[in-house]
Amino acid sequence: MQKINKKILNNGLIVLHQYDDSTSMVAVNTVYDVGARDEDPEMTGFAHLFEHLMFGGSENIPSFDAPVQQVGGENNAFTNNDITNYYISLPANNIETALWLESDRMLKLAFTPKSLEVQQQVVIEEFNQRYLNQPYGDVWLILRPLAYNEHPYKWATIGKNIEHIENAKLSDVEAFFYKHYAPNNAILSIVGNISENDAFNLVEKWYGDIPSRDIAKRNLPVEPKQTERRFMEVTRDVPSDAIYMAFHMCGRLDKDYQSCDLISDILSNGRSARLPQRLVKETQKFSEVNAYISGDRDPGLFIVTGKPNSGVELDEAERLIMNELKSLTTETVDEKELLKVKNKVESGFVYADTSILNRAMNFGLYQLLGDAHNVNHEMDKYAAVTPDDIKRVAKEVFTEDNCSVLYYRKNS
Amino acid sequence: MDRNIQPTYNPLTEVKIPDIKEYTLKNGIKVYAVRATGAEVIRVDVSFGAGNWYQPSPLIAAMTNALMREGAGKYNAHQIAENIDYYGSHLQVHCDKDNAGFIAYTLSKYFENTLSILNDIVREPHFDSNELDVLVMKSRQNFKIENQKVSVISRRVLMKNLFGADNPYGESLTEEQYNSVSLDEIKEYFNQYYSNKNCSILISGFVTDEHIKLIDKYFGDNFGNYNNSEPGYILKSSDTKFNYSEKDGAVQSSVRFGKPLINLTSSDYPKLQVVNTLLGGYFGSRLMKNIREEKGYTYGIGSVLVSLKHSGFFTIISEVGADVCKSAVEEINKEIDILCNTLVGQDELMLVKNYMMGDLARNLDGAFNIAETVKSVIDFGFGAEFFKYQQECIMNITAEEIRFLAQKYLSKESMYTAVAGRY
């Protein structure tokens, strides 16, 4: 049971705190309620580029990283389709440096041309490194626009294409900041060796005078229900064929979310799971096969990927995978198999909780979903899933009409 | 409150040395324990001197290690996987240049269940030939994918140049070698190297005396026929200092610098770690500042010291835009020159020291972090006292020493460079 203290400042900043005296460190996590889904379709990749710029100095402080390192800390950030998350871990008695830095860039970022110019280059190299220069690296650039027609999940966090990053202007950066970065659009969590009182007092000191800003209400297009199988194939210089199948599924807060997650676990979490056992080991049709959910806030994707062994054609690979998925819709999963994946979820939570940084991030995420205290009820939701739920949800998700298929062929 | 001024802070001048308990099982296996309260989770690391260095032919060490969990004792491969998953445990196999073994994470309440499976894996693997076929097939596939990456190509070339092609530190795999993995060699390798005489165990987390007794129960007997034979390779660096492997159509090139170097047993090592951190060992390093934050040539660049049992090496790693690859190589050389010729300023030196003390504190915070950090020193015969010496080195090193060590160990002339992609 996690004990979490919560306070909301007058400017709307939500602050979460947990005391842990088994460590000498403290984790300071800031999540902003903005991600790639909030981008202009003509300026994709911007939320992530902006994350880079957040390290280029703020109103009163020229450099973000150096003071963190100076006090023995380490910091980083990540962006996904839903959120932008910044974190610092440092010796607890130096926490004020972290709050000084984070609050100043919440107050106002320094918008410098040099920082924009360099970070555009850095992000282009990130694009090259992760998406273009790796075998199978461009899969998500292809699969997202295939699976989504309307919803902004149709572009990857890195952006639709490099031009969008190249074209970013300083005025866009400034506009983005005032549109999305504000105390009333952020959650600050502090976990570690600092008392509740000290934490809240210091937060009040550094954040109390930051004005709240008008944050436009999110109004994203809803993805229309997919009504027929979508298909695409590409040929690339890769050593083996691969197949990617994406099914639409519910969003993070839907009552069936946990069932979907457990279905993906039954299929591929752990070496005893169905897909690796049946398709890799028993029939040896694949060298690897995986199932997972995207975990998005809005209705997301249930993804199955595989690399068939040579001699297995991609249409056969698709049939083999579909058969495994279909068996979840016709046969009821037995209690023991379901309990196994629930045990795995439960131990996963316990392992993750050993890290103060994980906890700080998690509290922020759950608060963003409604209430940080729900971290304490998440396991109950998994425990409540029945074999009938698995079958019912599998039936809803695993239909041909709901599937986008990508054949990724090697050039011969 | 003035937002222009950094709040007062306390540089870490001392990091608490972790308490590592040491036990000896009746068969002589050393068990190291890092105890913590809190979450009821345990990590067990069973490690053998059974890494690539000792293998009679390529792939044998890794295949032996990975095949051990594919059926052992009273369980077939599926049952092992099924049981591990059912208890919510995780079992990792690991095989590096020197060591091979298993790391299990388990809830304390399932400690004995997990340990009992681990015991079967270590003592009575089946080495089934069908399982070997599947393993080889998967590994070969993975090898082919990895082999397309410029970073993998440049690493292969660099390691060969640093250590020579005819030993496990420098040799590179070929796809053909996957066709000739022999089950007999694997069995022989297992018998010789997976022995109590060649084993250490590191347990961390929510550990009680009861858990230590269980380790003795499952791992306390003699096993294996270890005869302590050393392959006796002679490591020899190449005469070629620069290598370029062209890859058509690459949008980025992988750039690696490196050279063979001292390992953790040298008293210079912790000091050289400070020099390395300054150059490329953290986000604010000179290489990051120059190549990423000034020039925008790369998403990331870093340098690292690697300690091997029979040697060690230094390496700089980056993937840079293919069009700016030449400039990036030049800039890296420039930074090495500056490191060797110019005294570091006091501000930068203080920053690096403070960062490193904080980093050490993070690495020695929490039982699992401590276990990983401790493992890297016990393999070289040290205990927790190493971290005390390390702190002294960080706190006391001077700008003059840094320049001296840079000249002694990291001169531009002694570096090997490997580029893969376009140059």
Domains and CATH numbers, chain B: 21-219 (3.30.830.10), 242-421 (3.30.830.10)
Q: Please report, for residues A17, B71, B102, B223, B264, the alpha-carbon distance to residue B46 in angstroms, rounded to integers and kept in the order given.
A: 37, 18, 5, 14, 21
The pLDDT assigned to A399 comes to 98
Closest CA of chain B from A176, distance in Å:
22
Which of the four pLDDT bands, split at 50, 70 and 90, describes residue B1? Answer: confident
Digit-coded pLDDT (tens) for A234-265: 999 999 999 999 999 999 999 999 999 999 99
Which residue of B145, B254, B395 is the best one to mutate when testing the A interface, meaning the one whose CB has the most A CBs within 10 A?
Answer: B145
Do residue B284 and residue A69 have CB atoms under 8 angstroms apart?
yes
Give yes or no for residue B321 having a pLDDT over 90: yes
| CA proximity to B322, closest of B237, B419, B198 | B419
Asked if pLDDT for residue A412 goes beyond 90, the answer is: no
Q: For every residue of chain A, which 3-state class applies, written as one string?
A: CCCCEEEECCCCCEEEEEECCCCCEEEEEEEECCCHHHCCCCCCCHHHHHHHHCCCCECCECCCHHHHHHCCCEEEEEECCCCEEEEEEEEHHHHHHHHHHHHHHHHCECCCHHHHHHHHHHHHHHHHHHHHCCCCCCHHHHHHHHHCCCCHHHCCCCCCCHHHHHCCCHHHHHHHHHHHCCHHHEEEEEEECCCHHHHHHHHHHHHCCCCCCCCCCCCCCCCCCCCCCEEEEEEECCCCCEEEEEEECCCCCCCCHHHHHHHHHHHHCCCCCHHHHHHHHHCCCEEEEEEEECCCCCCCEEEEEEEECCCCCHHHHHHHHHHHHHHHHHCCCCHHHHHHHHHHHHHHHHHHCCCHHHHHHHHHHHHHCCCHHHHHCHHHHHHCCCHHHHHHHHHHHCCHHHEEEEEEEECC
pLDDT at B230: 86
Q: In what order do the strands lie in the sheet with B252-260?
A: B242-246, B416-421, B252-260, B312-321, B298-307
**What is the average per-residue pLDDT within A271-294?**
96
B206 pLDDT above the threshold of 80: yes
Q: Which of residues 226-285 of A touch B (CB under 8 A)?
A: 237-240, 269-273, 277, 280-281, 284
Helical pair A170-180 and A46-53, crossing angle rounded to 10 deg: 90
Q: Is A132 on the interface with B (CB under 8 A)?
A: yes
Here the ipTM equals 0.94
Query: For the segment B264-290, what is each residue's pLDDT rounded down to a tens digit?
Result: 999 999 999 999 999 999 999 999 999
Cα A252 off chain centre by: 11
Q: Is the pLDDT of residue A232 over 80?
A: yes
- Which of the four pLDDT bands, split at 50, 70 and 90, describes residue A35? very high
At A274 the pLDDT is: 98
* A21–B contact, CB cutoff 8 A: no
Whether B334 has a pLDDT exceeding 90, the answer reads yes
CA distance A199 to chain B (A): 15
CATH of segment(s) A230-410: 3.30.830.10
Task: Determine the pLDDT at residue A257.
Answer: 98
Q: Answer for the pair A58, A173: CB distance below 8 angstroms, yes or no.
A: no
Decide if pLDDT at A400 tops 90. yes
B274 contacts in A (CB within 8 Å)? none
B38 has a pLDDT exceeding 90: no
Provide mean pLDDT across the span A17-29. Answer: 96
Do A5-207 and A230-410 fold alike per CATH?
Answer: yes
Q: Where do the structural domains in chain A lie, given as residue ranges?
A: 5-207, 230-410
Q: What distance, in Å, lies between the first and last C-alpha atoms of chain A?
A: 56
% of chain B residues with pLDDT over 70: 100
Encoding tokens for residue A22? 């088994």
Chain B contact for A307, CB < 8 A? yes
Domain A5-207 has CATH 2.30.30.40: no
Cross-chain residue pair B11–A22, CB shorter than 8 Å: no
Which residue of chain B comes nearest to A277, CA vs CA? Answer: B78
Res B279: pLDDT: 98
Q: What's the whole-number average pLDDT of chain B?
A: 96
Report the pLDDT averaged over residues A45-74: 96
Residue type, B35: R
Contacts of A309 in chain B (CB under 8 A): 137, 141
pLDDT at residue B228, as a whole number = 85
pLDDT average, residue stretch B377-403: 97
Mean predicted confidence (pLDDT) in B320-346 = 98
> How far is residue A124's CA from residue A162's CA, in Å, rounded to a whole number?
7
Q: What is the pLDDT of residue A303?
A: 98
% of chain A at pLDDT higher than 70:
100
| Predicted confidence band of residue B195 (pLDDT cuts 50, 70, 90) | very high
- pLDDT category at B37 given cuts 50, 70, 90 is confident
The answer to whether the CB atoms of A118 and B319 lie below 8 A apart is no
Are the CB atoms for A49 and A246 separated by under 8 Å? no
**SS3 annotation, chain B:** CCCCCCCCCCCCCCCCCCCCEEEECCCCCEEEEEECCCCCEEEEEEEECCCHHHCCCCCHHHHHHHHCCCCECCECHHHHHHHHHHCCCEEEEEECCCCEEEEEEEEHHHHHHHHHHHHHHHHCECCCHHHHHHHHHHHHHHHHHHCCCHHHHHHHHHHHHHHCCCCCCCCCCCHHHHHHCCHHHHHHHHHHHCCHHHEEEEEEECCCHHHHHHHHHHHCCCCCCCCCCCCCCCCCCCCCCEEEEECCCCCEEEEEEEEECCCCCCCCHHHHHHHHHHHHHCCCCHHHHHHHHHCCCEEEEEEEEEECCCCEEEEEEEEEEHHHHHHHHHHHHHHHHHHHHCCCCHHHHHHHHHHHHHHHHHHCCCHHHHHHHHHHHHCCCCCCHHHHHHHHHHHHCCHHHHHHHHHHHCCHHHCEEEEEECC
Determine the residue of chain B that is closest to A60 in CA distance.
Answer: B4
Residue A144, both tokens? 């997202």
Percent of chain B with pLDDT over 90: 97
Residue with tokens 């399932």: B110
